[in-house]
Structure 1
Amino acid sequence: MNSLEDRIEAAPQDFRVLTGDRPTGPLHLGHYFGTLRNRVRLQRRGVDMFVIVADYQVLTDRDVAERLGETVDGLLLDYLAAGLDPDATTVFTHSAVPALNQLLLPFLSLVSVPELQRNPTVKDEIQHSRQSSVSGLMFTYPVHQAADILFCKGNLVPVGQDQMPHIEVTRTVARRFNERYGPVFPVPEGLLSIAPVLPGTDGRKMSKSRGNAIALSSTPDETARLIKSATTDADRTISYDPERRPGVSGLVQLAALCLDREPDDVAAEIGDAGSAALKRTVTEAVNEFLAPMRERRAAYAQDLGFVRDLLRRGNARANEFADQTLQEVRVAMGTVY
């Protein structure tokens, strides 16, 4: 059987992607190399793309969603700067599609409490939660994601390996609904990302919450300051050895990704010039890589009316799909009176 990538290449029109982000702050280079670049690739192949701005899901691990409108605007600008085409990709907000959220009730009836308790991604979310106790929203997070994916009949979900348990919940919900009520939903496939985990400026995984991330919206000077403060070590000879030298290797990897080169080649070129030379190389590579994104972002930021209209149009299309799917669900369940 052909691989999933082969099938996408041969018939991109057969696939619909659902992916997205929680609007909790600026997207960074880890997001770009981990997910955004892949979204743009699939979009250009002709895959139907739905990207959800998961504003309701901001509340899974915090009591309130602060400055949400401003954060959503920033997220849209990051999408456009990264290359998402508003004429080819449907971007919409969770809260603007009521029929999507109505799917949650029948979907919850298809999943047991022990199944949710065993979900490793839920366990991880709970462990890192900012809340003093676990909310029902957090506990049912995987079923919310199933509704996000299935409302538009999404059958392809780009994910990292750590997110595969969520896809398994969605696959379970789709299969059980179809078995109980008749064929309504596709059983989606997870498209595993081949992107490496990108370390931040401290050698740990790049993350907004750790303060070690280089935002796509950062200025050249901000980028230079972040890289200058990055963790290295006392060994003057630069090498790529993630296990032994996480700080140095993270910087080498970042430069390599931006330059589209192999990390070992970048390290060998710097040689014994030391960490200062490494940081100069990384700064130049990152700023050159981000330059066209910064230019696009600045242009779109001059017309936030256009950016918000993109979201309105996306919300309208998402609602059309959600209303149709909910009607199919009602017919299948016998709840049309």
Structure 2
Amino acid sequence: MDSFSALSERMPALRSSISSDPSRYRILTGERPTGQLHLGHYVGTIRERVRLQDAGVETLVIIADYQVITDRDTAGAFRENVYSAVLDYLAAGIDPGRSTIFTHSAIPELNQLFLPFLSLVTEAELHRNPTVKAELLASGRALNGLLLTYPVHQAADILFCKGNLVPVGKDNLPHVEVTRTIARRFNEKYGEVFPEPEALITETPELPGLDGRTMSKSYGNTITLAMNEDETAQRIRKAPTDSERTITYDPDSRPGVSALLDTASVCSGRTPQDIADEVGSQGSGALKALTTEAVNEHLRELRQRRAALVAADAAEALCSGNDAARQIAGETLEETRAAMGMLY
């Protein structure tokens, strides 16, 4: 049995533990603000954060702006992307009175933990991380130091608040393992300070973009949460399909058609095959109309709440969240320095 299968088998017991005693857990989760949040973010992670928050789990949501500069030219859009993400969170149901929303760059005490953590991993371990490899390949550039140490930054993000639960998809499990390794090595060397966080595998599969490829702003295949209904309809009308009239679900042979079926499925709660059977020989036009209605209906209330928000709401949520995160980070840094014998 591989490690993912073994971890998956532990999920029912973990979810039962969360349900019976949510106060035992503190979650760290978040995104890099590389662009506007989209439907994939919402169904993949944001809905789960709201559910856990509402269940009573202490939730911290990081907008990892420092991590964007590892390989992407998005400096001019930082503020726009960060504020847009906060508005999406608020509209989706993240409550700044119960959850902490903060930015990476605003918490210097968090980033100070990076130095001792960096001493606990080897260069070879960093090179083996699959996300580092993937980001290097996607960037097409030489490996810079910040990208190489990206997993250590993520460990600092999780451990600064002593997070003991990290919602992740299968692809991000290696980051949790790096974090567990760093926590264990620090505790062995300096004394017990950090928990070894558990991964909470998200149940929603990765949603493909409208063309069947990975959802990406650069591909133009996303439905962002900030879009209105007409913009959504226009984006779906432009989605590539094929010349075969009868609609069938076949991701390998019919990626465009299948991506639309997947999109309609996550928004309607029906299976892709059931939707394909309903559309049948009506063709891609009928499929796009059905998908548009499913998406717009699913996001209607969120978008109404988002339209009622203004930039000041995002600023207020960030201000209070950054203050709270700095308080937590300061206490953890003090404890870390004390364990290392560095209080002078």
Assess same fold via TM > 0.5. yes
Alignment check: 8 A CA contact 1:90 1:317 kept: yes
Alignment check: 8 A CA contact 1:201 1:229 kept: no
Alignment check: 8 A CA contact 1:161 1:192 kept: yes
Of 44, 60, 81 in structure 2, the residue corresponding to residue 34 of structure 1 is 44
Distance in 1 separating the partners of 2:274 and 2:313: 43
1:215-261, CA deviations, whole angstroms, 9 ceiling, x for partnerless residues?
01111111111111111122211122222221111111111111111
Matched, 1:267 2:276: yes
Alignment check: 8 A CA contact 2:208 2:215 kept: yes
1:24-75, CA deviations, whole angstroms, 9 ceiling, x for partnerless residues?
1100011111111111111111110000011111101125611311221111
Of 202, 212, 215 in structure 2, the residue corresponding to residue 206 of structure 1 is 215
1:150-201, CA deviations, whole angstroms, 9 ceiling, x for partnerless residues?
0000011111111111111100000000000010000001111221221212
Distance in 2 separating the partners of 1:272 and 1:305: 49
Shift of 1:307: 2.0
Shift of 1:209: 2.3
Of 139, 156, 160 in structure 2, the residue corresponding to residue 147 of structure 1 is 156
Taking structure 2 as the reference length, the TM-score comes to 0.94
1:253-303, CA deviations, whole angstroms, 9 ceiling, x for partnerless residues?
1111111112221111111111111011011111111111111111112xx
Residues 1-337 of structure 1: pairs in structure 2 closer than 5 A: 3-63=13-73, 65-129=75-139, 132-301=141-310, 304-337=311-344
Residue identity matched to 2:330: D
- Mean alpha-carbon deviation: is it higher for 196-205 or for 108-117? 196-205
Q: Aligned to 2:37, what secondary structure does the other structure show?
A: coil
Instruction: Give 5+ residue unaligned stretches, structure 1.
Output: none
Q: Aligned to 2:199, what secondary structure does the other structure show?
A: strand
Residue identity matched to 1:228: R
Aligned length: 334
Residue identity matched to 1:57: Q
Alignment check: 8 A CA contact 1:51 1:92 kept: yes
Shift of 1:14: 0.5
Alignment check: 8 A CA contact 2:25 2:164 kept: yes
Distance in 2 separating the partners of 1:332 and 1:199: 46
Distance in 2 separating the partners of 1:114 and 1:149: 22
1:80-123, CA deviations, whole angstroms, 9 ceiling, x for partnerless residues?
12221111110001111111000001000100111101111111
Q: Aligned to 1:18, what secondary structure does the other structure show?
A: strand
Distance in 2 separating the partners of 1:78 and 1:8: 25
Residue identity matched to 1:234: S
Name segments (4+ residues, structure 1) moved above 6 Å.
Answer: none
Distance in 1 separating the partners of 2:35 and 2:291: 24
- Mean alpha-carbon deviation: is it higher for 304-313 or for 100-109? 304-313
